Amino acid sequence: MKKIVVMVSGSGSNLQAIIDSCNRKHIDAEITCVISNNPRAYGLERAASANINSIVINHKDYKSRDCYDSELMKALDNLNPDLIVLAGFMRILTEKLTSKFFGKIINIHPSLLPKYPGLNTHQEVINNKDSIHGVSIHYVSSELDCGPLIAQGEIKTKTNENINDLIERVHKIEHLIYPEIIKYICDDRISVESNQVKFNNINTINSIIYNKYEV
């Protein structure tokens, strides 16, 4: 059975979706640890409720990103996971870490990349009156939100929709698509070689998984 480490900074709603999927045996893997940079993250309570070990590595205790990531790398080396899942982990990882674990770390980002990397994606969609919005799942590389793209989930925007409603709808598709992609990776149906994502018997559109949702 594959071992997963999930990294969170906040509420951990995606973590909960992954926990639920593992408990249903939809994902054939075990979450062996939850790591957070925030000692107050609600995701830590979710881990405790599910009897999952957790580690807090508070970035405020380290003088630099390099020092912080060195400690993070030690923890990940000790845990030796098959897959590292960033689920609202609000830290930019150094090239040292992303290079060491490339092909093992995935992230979910709330936009249809390459549109709107970084923060405030929902407001950008509203400001630009985009007709569609969504999420992207990608392997993590040294460039922010630029690693090899695995999957995207799309929703249509609504006229005069407020940002909180839009965020809620995006969260709903995150909770659907992220566990599905994790399942495929744990079943060895998705991998990455030479910066190219490989799919085993999975339907793709333009070399990625692309799903449209009505939520």
Residue-wise pLDDT tens digits, 5-45: 999 999 999 999 999 999 999 999 999 999 999 999 999 99
Please report the pLDDT score of residue 7 as a whole number. 98
Task: Give the residue numbers marked as catalytic.
Answer: 109
Show me where the domains of the chain are located: 2-212
Model confidence pLDDT, tens digit, residues 85-94: 999 999 999 9
CATH number of 2-212: 3.40.50.170
In this structure, the dihedral spanned by the alpha carbons of residues 90, 105, 197 and 21, taken in order and rounded to 10 degrees, is -90
Query: How far is 53 from 189, CA to CA, in rounded Å?
Result: 28
Q: What CA–CA distances, in Å, run from 36 to 46, 61, 104, 133, 182? A: 12, 13, 18, 28, 20
Burial of 129 (0-12, 13-18, 19+ CB in 10 A): exposed
Bridge partners for 33 per DSSP: 5
Model confidence pLDDT, tens digit, residues 60-81: 999 999 999 999 999 999 999 9
Percent of the chain with pLDDT over 90: 98
- The whole-chain average pLDDT of the chain stands at 97
Q: Quickly state the pLDDT bin for 144 (edges 50, 70, 90).
A: confident
Q: For residue 120, give both structure tokens.
A: 């405030």
Bridge partners for 191 per DSSP: 198
Query: How far is 49 from 52, CA to CA, in rounded Å?
Result: 8
Mean pLDDT of the 121-150 span: 96
Query: How far is 66 from 155, CA to CA, in rounded Å?
Result: 38
Model confidence pLDDT, tens digit, residues 83-119: 999 999 999 999 999 999 999 999 999 999 999 999 9
Residue 213 pLDDT exceeds 90: yes
Q: pTM for this one?
A: 0.96
Please report the pLDDT score of residue 108 as a whole number. 98
Q: How far is CA 199 from the centre of its chain?
A: 19
Q: Collect all residues with Cβ–Cβ distance below 8 Å to 105 and sequence separation of at least 6.
A: 84, 85, 86, 93, 98, 139, 140
